[in-house]
A and B are shown apart, each in its own frame.
Chain A
Amino acid sequence: KPKKGKTKKVKRKVKHDEAPVQEMEQAEGEETEKKSESGPCFPPTFSVSEIKNKQRRHSMFLKLKEEKRKQKLELKKKKKKERKALGDKAPPKEVPKTIENQRIYDETTVNPEDEEVAFDEGTDEFSAYFNRLTNPKVLITTSDRPRGRTVRFCEQLATVIPHAHVYYRRGLALKRVIPQCVSRGFTYLMVINEDRKVPNGLVLCHLPDGPTAHFKVSNVRLRKEMKRRGKDPTEHVPEVILNNFTTRLGHSIGRMFAALFPHDPQFVGRQVATFHNQRDFIFFRFHRYIFKNEKKVGIQELGPRFTLKLRSLQKGTFDSKFGEYEWVHKRHEMDSSRRKFHL
């Protein structure tokens, strides 16, 4: 009863604003008709925000929402009925919109048969690796004075990536470290930056004049923090899975990750390292798999997991002042649209 009173008051207010007597009568009539079916009906030019009283406005809004929900349900039911009635001839179900569906088409998306891309990849810095001329050898280090978590993360990374060596950074400048690495035959330099006792950045530098990628690292989970994990990874060379690297930039980053691991994975080890790109976040996982039969595979997570987000890609080796940046994440330009991704 109090609700009725409210609605009636509202109607009167609206009447004062716009509706002549006729409309009110109609509205009342409609109301009485529809009372049995649904809540109060609203005259067409009525807007909830025009009510000044907060309580009444709130209750009106809730009623409006109820109305809408009911209409939606009715629509759904109707559609379902139609579908049943039509049976086989029914139109196919509509695909719901997802962010991946609605992604703005990036003109640098790589077409698998693109000749230009193939040519570029044949002659870029990773071509040496992909032509099996070099074997990867990775040097992992940190920023100054690493704390326990970062150190353990480095150690675990070294077990995951074959031929990886961890070295303690004793306040050395990277520019001086790089020529030494090159002379000792390293192909990759990985620097894990630490902030507040937690690793938060990764600089991945391909050594003989390779590109340098700077990532933001987040959600690092060490091995002991993982639930239901398996035993430690063995020395076998893992397989690599690279998912969703579609654009040119994504392609080059994907190749960068691929070149971290030796060419021929040892399938005996049944280990797989995955770099999965989703909406510009690269998720790294390390699993052990087993084929139960040809349609089912079981995977068990070992090894650390972390996510990366690319911040910048530089053409030469690490040089923060004079480097030539191929791609830099510019927040205001690139983060303005929620449907645009770059990798």
Chain B
Amino acid sequence: ICRLKVIWDLIGNKSFCSYKVKTKTQQFCRNEYNITGLCNRSSCPLANSQYATVREEKGLCYLYMKVIERAAFPARMWEKVKLDRNYAKALEQIDENLIYWPRFIRHKCKQRLTKITQYLIRIRKLTLKRQRKLVPLSRKVERREKRREEKALIAAQLENAIEKELLDRLKQGTYGDIYNFPIHAFDKAMEKQEEETESEEEEEEDEEESGTREFVAEDEFEESDLSDFEDMNNLKGSSDEEEDAEDQSSEEEETEEELEEEKTKAKSKGKTPLKGPIRKKRAYVEIEYEQETEPAQKSKAT
């Protein structure tokens, strides 16, 4: 006992202990047989001749005991007792092995056993659930990818590509008759072809047009209608004039009435400059023209 006191004096306070870890507020013991993990007079396995611990190996708990009789035989110093897997039975085993031992050691052994069984249970539960796999990122690769992505974004010119695609779809006619523009595109395309290839056809057309116009006292109507269509002309361009002329020839009376009624509407509806793309374009007046002029145009084309 004197010997132990000396040992503790040296290890605990004055001299060096290789298992001791000092922090600001506390001292820890790294000895694997230590029962509490703190560096105390009662917890130090080196400074106590009678000592016991519970440790686990591969999921099984063992009780280690050290008695003074074996202090001379370091190889046989610790007696290892395998504890039962059942928690309650293991507690009884501890009690039975450590009977007549100091309360402190018994209590701490049981506490340690409890903690160990709890964490073993948790391990088993976690292994059943899905594990999160951590994949290491290489910083160099990440940086490279980021830069390449930025460059690709610039090269992609997304807005232009989307707009182009949408216009292509419009030209191909995937939108059907929802928008008016396909007709104008058709008109323009036809115009271009006719102008470029043969003048005879143009002459014929003119003749046809002039033929159809003969029904009507044109000039007056043209002027009045044109004044109504001022805004429309600004927006749509030259193709409108032809259309308007044709329209007039075919449906003057109706158009007159409709125009007078919807004069104001036409001006306000789709013809004012659009504020942002959200405003829906309402082209009610135009739709009527579409239906009536389509066949006429087609016949001219052929």
A100 to B154, CA, bound (A): 12
Query: Is the CB of B182 closer than 8 A to any CB of chain A?
Result: yes
Beta-carbon contacts under 8 Å, B197-231 to A: none
Q: Nearest Cβ distance between residue A335 and chain B, in whole angstroms? A: 8
- A252-290 CB mask vs B (1 if < 8 Å, else 0) is 000000000000000110001010101111010101111
Chain B residue total in the interface (Cβ 8 A): 41
Query: Is the CB of B2 closer than 8 A to any CB of chain A?
Result: no
Known contacts A243-B161, A291-B281; decide if A297 and B167 are in contact (CB<8 Å): yes
Residue of B nearest to A301 (CB): B159
Out of B130, B159, B175, B176, which one reaches A299, CB within 8 Å? B159
Whether the pair A287, B149 counts as a contact (CB closer than 8 A) is no
Which residues of A are found within 8 Å of B156, using beta-carbon distances?
A: 276, 278, 283
Whether the pair A98, B155 counts as a contact (CB closer than 8 A) is yes
Whether the pair B166, A297 counts as a contact (CB closer than 8 A) is yes
Interface residues on A, range: 35 or more
Q: Nearest Cβ distance between residue B39 and chain A, in whole angstroms? A: 39
Query: Is the CB of B181 closer than 8 A to any CB of chain A?
Result: yes
Binds A, one of B53-61, B63-71, B271-279: B271-279
Which residues of A are found within 8 Å of B162, using beta-carbon distances?
A: 241, 272, 274, 276, 285, 287, 289, 299
Q: Nearest Cβ distance between residue B140 and chain A, in whole angstroms? A: 11
A155 to B180, CA, bound (A): 36
Whether the pair A276, B158 counts as a contact (CB closer than 8 A) is yes
Whether the pair A294, B185 counts as a contact (CB closer than 8 A) is yes
Whether the pair B130, A230 counts as a contact (CB closer than 8 A) is no
Residue of B nearest to A219 (CB): B149
- A216-246 CB mask vs B (1 if < 8 Å, else 0) is 0011000000000011000000010101000
Whether the pair A293, B181 counts as a contact (CB closer than 8 A) is yes
Query: Is the CB of B165 closer than 8 A to any CB of chain A?
Result: yes
Whether the pair A272, B278 counts as a contact (CB closer than 8 A) is no
Whether the pair A288, B185 counts as a contact (CB closer than 8 A) is no
Query: Is the CB of A5 closer than 8 A to any CB of chain B?
Result: no
A307 to B158, CA, bound (A): 12
Query: Is the CB of B153 closer than 8 A to any CB of chain A?
Result: yes
Out of A173, A274, A292, A294, which one reaches B184, CB within 8 Å? A294
Which residues of B are found within 8 Å of A299, using beta-carbon distances?
A: 159, 162-163, 166, 277
Query: Is the CB of A3 closer than 8 A to any CB of chain B?
Result: no
- A25-69 CB mask vs B (1 if < 8 Å, else 0) is 000000000000000000000000000000000000000000000
Binding site for B on A (CB under 8 A): 98-100, 144, 171, 173, 218-219, 230-231, 239, 241, 243, 267-268, 272, 274, 276, 278-281, 283, 285, 287-295, 297-300, 307, 309, 331, 335
6 contacts between A and B (CB under 8 A): A276-B162, A283-B158, A290-B277, A293-B235, A294-B184, A331-B141
3 tightest A-B CB contacts, nearest first: A294-B181, A298-B277, A290-B277
